[in-house]
Amino acid sequence: MIMAPKAVQKVLDGFYWILAREAMLPDSNIFLVADGNRFVLFDAGLQNFYQETVLAIRDLGLNLRDLNRLILTHTHLDHSGSTPLFQKDAKNVEIWVSEEEGSFLEQGDDTVVYGSMLGNRLPPIEVAKKLHDGDVVEVGDFTFQVLHTPGHSIGSLCFYEPNHQLLISGDVVFRHGSFGRADLPTGNGKQLTQSIARLAELPVEMLLPGHMGIALKGGQREIQLSLQFARQVF
Ligand SMILES: [Zn+2]
């Protein structure tokens, strides 16, 4: 079978969306952001689709050795599964993840990573930086504010870029009033609702979630709709 690269869509100059593979197994969106002459990935995707991700990165004219940071919104396997493969191929990539979930990766703990359910536990992974609410992450032309937004998982992070009114929202909120599940280990529906309420206050145009589509405009309205539905469910 000939392997096809994942589809890629440009979001802004130096900012690309590598679309999740639509398949039986869950995969996550990946966001690639230029960082000088290197680049950063937000989320790694499922390991089963790693080769398709690499082909998409190469199609952008980039080389894996220039991947300097892999920043995870959270550690569920559909977002983190390709991490060891990137570490092997990119050599000098740093893994950045929340304080709360970094230890799960370091210990190879499966509770939150959820690998056994998806047939592939991760080996222990070295974490270079553990992120906290209020941290600022500079990537090329973009300055992200780190928001700790638990509820889908204990250490779920969102990354807000105020200059572009852009939010990388992981599995906290999706488009069209949808939101992450709260019934997996360390999930909590009330916390999730509180996290969405916090996001709903932000002036967001571009909403870039971990699954399904992205919104280039009107992100805040979509988050407010998610909040409305979450309040009905939790
Ligand atoms: Zn998740």
Ligand 1 midpoint to CA 187 (Å): 10
pLDDT at 89 exceeding the cut of 80: yes
Cβ pair 209, 174 in contact under 8 A = yes
- Our CA angle for 218, 169, 129, nearest 5°, is 145
Q: What is the pLDDT of residue 2?
A: 72
Ligand 1 midpoint to CA 74 (Å): 7
Instruction: Identify the band that residue 80 occupies on the pLDDT scale cut at 50, 70 and 90.
Output: very high
Lowest mean pLDDT among 79-88, 94-103, 107-116: 107-116
pLDDT at 1 exceeding the cut of 70: no
Ligand 1 midpoint to CA 120 (Å): 15
Q: Which runs of E-coded beta strand occur in 62-126?
A: 67-71, 94-98
Ligand 1 midpoint to CA 37 (Å): 30
pLDDT over 70, % of the chain: 99
Average pLDDT for 177-197? 96
Helix (H) or strand (E) holding 226: helix 219-233
Ligand 1 midpoint to CA 76 (Å): 5
Structural domain boundaries in the chain: 8-233
Q: 39 — alpha (psi -120 to 50), left (phi > 0) or beta?
A: beta
Ligand 1 midpoint to CA 234 (Å): 18
pLDDT at 49 exceeding the cut of 80: yes
pLDDT at 170 exceeding the cut of 90: yes
Ligand 1 midpoint to CA 171 (Å): 5
Compute the mean pLDDT over every residue in the chain, rounded to the nearest whole number: 95
Average pLDDT for 175-181? 96
Q: What is the pLDDT of residue 61?
A: 97
Ligand 1 midpoint to CA 228 (Å): 21
Ligand 1 midpoint to CA 4 (Å): 25
Cα–Cα dist 230/225, whole Å = 9
User: Which class in CATH covers the domain with range 8-233?
Assistant: alpha beta
Residues 26-38 have pLDDT tens digits of 999 999 999 999 9
Cα–Cα dist 104/93, whole Å = 19
Average pLDDT for 10-24? 95
Q: What is the pLDDT of residue 42?
A: 98
Instruction: Identify the band that residue 228 occupies on the pLDDT scale cut at 50, 70 and 90.
Output: very high
Ligand 1 midpoint to CA 211 (Å): 9
Q: What is the pLDDT of residue 110?
A: 83
pLDDT at 109 exceeding the cut of 90: no
Ligand 1 midpoint to CA 150 (Å): 11
Ligand 1 midpoint to CA 149 (Å): 12
User: What would the DSSP string read from start to end of 168-207?
Assistant: EEETTB-STT-B----STT--HHHHHHHHHHHHTS--SEE
pLDDT at 104 exceeding the cut of 90: yes
Instruction: Identify the band that residue 66 occupies on the pLDDT scale cut at 50, 70 and 90.
Output: very high
This prediction's pTM: 0.97
Residues 124-164 have pLDDT tens digits of 999 999 999 999 999 999 999 999 999 999 999 999 999 99
Q: What is the pLDDT of residue 121?
A: 82
